């Protein structure tokens, strides 16, 4: 638990990173226009950071996430270094580059600690990263930067993605707005298991107490519905964005299914080059071929609950009540997965089943750029 508390505090500053990109290096950059030249570069490459996926909350995911950030930050350093500065401006720019390289070094230390699996080392590495951020931010303020190294407002938007008009699925009797309101009130009251999906499992008392504390003062800032699935984005009092998934339950009402932390906001348009469709195709093929290695390859990381070790069959990926029925319907080949919707945090697919239908959920993997990975499956009523 210590690790997650530390990460919750330290990683909320992650969105303050300078996101930078290419610029025209022909005009000479002087001290007078250095800040504007740097900010232009940063704005042009903002997507290099905002498309990095959800926050890693396991050591394996943290390693992936920070690897992605280190690569994006190195791109920042390289492209800023390419500005055509005069000698005086170069002296000022170098201060920012050195500070940024300090963050990259801290990123790499976190990756190394996370890969070792030592929680104490991970927390210590995040402490050092916090100091590196402070040093970089001090330089950014001294230079008068308005984008590089500054906290930016997170802009959410409805994605406009939706199920095909001719798709036949059971409609929930409530709306995503109603479900999100009820869930927020329930968690704030400490009743974390009251509105959970049938196949979402139960939250332990200690985790519920932590959620209650985190959601004190939280608010709903955006929602979007994708047929039998809805997503509500909660923002906690400290500014943490938590896109939260609600799926039509067997009683035809939205119920909580899962959530994630996305430091740039989850209810935004997904990266254009995302591989969600490819991931679902590979998931189905792995199940149909009973290929454990291929199945593990579509998961976010090796620490997840579905990761298969010590078995040569995909049948052992889950001991959930509905796993056998899900595998049977995937292997039957009677229907193909159909995308319901996709955003910067999740992608959802519908599969027609025999006894019930299914929602298949992918997550925008930490540090994965445009990579989406298999996260869960949920039974929904048949239409």
By residue range, what is the domain housing residue 329?
276-380
Within this chain, do residues 118 and 244 fall inside the same structural domain, yes or no?
no
Residue 344 backbone phi and psi in degrees, to 5? -75, -10
pLDDT digit string, tens, across residues 300-335: 988 878 999 999 999 999 989 999 999 999 999 999
CA–CA dist 123, 349 (Å, integer): 36
On whether residue 225 sits in a domain, the answer given is yes
CATH number of the domain that 76 lies in? 1.20.120
CA–CA dist 233, 262 (Å, integer): 10
On whether residue 368 sits in a domain, the answer given is yes
Q: Is the pLDDT of residue 2 over 80?
A: no
pLDDT, average across residues 248-260: 95
- What's the pLDDT at 20? 41
Within this chain, do residues 211 and 322 fall inside the same structural domain, yes or no?
no
Within this chain, do residues 120 and 22 fall inside the same structural domain, yes or no?
yes
Q: Is the pLDDT of residue 12 over 80?
A: no
pLDDT digit string, tens, across residues 182-213: 999 999 999 999 899 999 888 999 999 999 99
Within this chain, do residues 280 and 251 fall inside the same structural domain, yes or no?
no
Q: Using CB atoms within 10 A of its CB, is residue 329 exposed (0-12), middle (13-18) or buried (19+)? A: buried
On whether residue 375 sits in a domain, the answer given is yes
pLDDT digit string, tens, across residues 45-55: 888 999 999 99
CB 270 within 8 A of CB 347: yes
Within this chain, do residues 36 and 131 fall inside the same structural domain, yes or no?
yes
> Total structural domains in the chain?
3
Within this chain, do residues 228 and 293 fall inside the same structural domain, yes or no?
no
- What's the pLDDT at 26? 67
Within this chain, do residues 67 and 108 fall inside the same structural domain, yes or no?
yes
- Tokens 């004190």 sit at which residue? 216
Within this chain, do residues 288 and 247 fall inside the same structural domain, yes or no?
no
Within this chain, do residues 291 and 206 fall inside the same structural domain, yes or no?
no
* Strand ranges (E), the chain: 219-226, 229-235, 241-248, 254-259, 338-342, 346-351, 357-364, 372-380
pLDDT, average across residues 261-275: 95
Within this chain, do residues 226 and 288 fall inside the same structural domain, yes or no?
no
Tokens standing for residue 72: 């994006």
pLDDT digit string, tens, across residues 94-120: 999 999 999 999 999 999 999 999 999
Q: Is the pLDDT of residue 14 over 50?
A: no
CATH number of the domain that 228 lies in? 3.10.450
CA–CA dist 382, 51 (Å, integer): 35
On whether residue 268 sits in a domain, the answer given is no
pLDDT, average across residues 71-85: 94
Average pLDDT, the chain: 91
Instruction: Look at residues 158, 180, 174 and name the one whose alpha carbon lies nearest to residue 232.
Output: 180
Within this chain, do residues 282 and 243 fall inside the same structural domain, yes or no?
no
Within this chain, do residues 128 and 103 fall inside the same structural domain, yes or no?
yes
pLDDT, average across residues 339-351: 98
On whether residue 296 sits in a domain, the answer given is yes
Q: What percent of the chain has pLDDT over 70?
A: 93
On whether residue 223 sits in a domain, the answer given is yes
On whether residue 162 sits in a domain, the answer given is no
On whether residue 83 sits in a domain, the answer given is yes
Q: What is the pTM of this model?
A: 0.89
Q: Is the pLDDT of residue 16 over 80?
A: no
Sheet holding 219-226: strands in order across? 219-226, 229-235, 241-248, 254-259
């Amino acid at each position: 638990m210590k690790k997650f508390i530390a990460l919750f505090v330290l990683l909320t500053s992650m969105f303050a990173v300078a996101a930078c990109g290419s610029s025209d290096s022909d005009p000479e950059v002087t001290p007078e226009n250095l800040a504007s030249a740097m900010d232009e570069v940063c704005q042009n490459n903002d997507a290099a950071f905002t498309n990095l996926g959800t926050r890693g909350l396991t050591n394996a995911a943290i390693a992936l996430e920070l690897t992605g950030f280190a690569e994006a930050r190195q791109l920042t350093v390289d492209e800023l270094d390419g500005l055509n500065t005069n000698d005086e401006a170069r002296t000022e720019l170098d201060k920012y580059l050195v500070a940024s390289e300090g963050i990259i070094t801290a990123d790499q230390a976190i990756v190394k600690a996370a890969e070792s699996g030592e929680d104490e080392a991970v927390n210590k590495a995040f402490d050092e990263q916090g100091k590196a951020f402070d040093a970089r931010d001090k330089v950014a303020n001294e230079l008068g930067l308005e984008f590089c190294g500054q906290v930016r407002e997170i802009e959410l938007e409805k994605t406009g993605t939706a199920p095909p008009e001719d798709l036949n699925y059971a409609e929930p009797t409530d709306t995503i707005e109603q479900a999100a309101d009820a869930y927020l009130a329930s968690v704030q009251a400490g009743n974390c298991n009251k509105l959970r999906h049938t196949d979402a499992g139960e939250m332990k008392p200690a985790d519920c107490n932590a959620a209650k504390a985190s959601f004190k003062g939280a608010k709903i800032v955006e929602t979007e519905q994708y047929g039998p699935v809805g997503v509500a984005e909660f923002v906690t009092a400290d500014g943490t964005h938590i896109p939260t998934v609600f799926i039509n339950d067997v009683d035809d009402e939205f119920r909580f299914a899962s959530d994630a932390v996305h430091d740039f906001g989850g209810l935004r348009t997904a990266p254009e080059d995302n591989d969600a469709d490819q991931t679902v195709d590979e998931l189905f093929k792995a199940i149909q071929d009973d290929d454990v290695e291929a199945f593990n390859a579509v998961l976010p990381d090796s620490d997840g609950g579905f990761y298969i070790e010590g078995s040569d069959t995909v049948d052992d990926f889950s001991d959930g009540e509905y796993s056998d029925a899900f595998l049977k319907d995937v292997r039957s080949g009677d229907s193909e997965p159909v995308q319901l919707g996709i955003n910067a945090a999740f992608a959802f697919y519908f599969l027609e089943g025999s006894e019930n239908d299914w929602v298949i959920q992918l997550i925008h993997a930490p540090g994965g750029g445009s990579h989406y990975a298999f996260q869960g499956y949920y039974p929904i009523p048949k239409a």
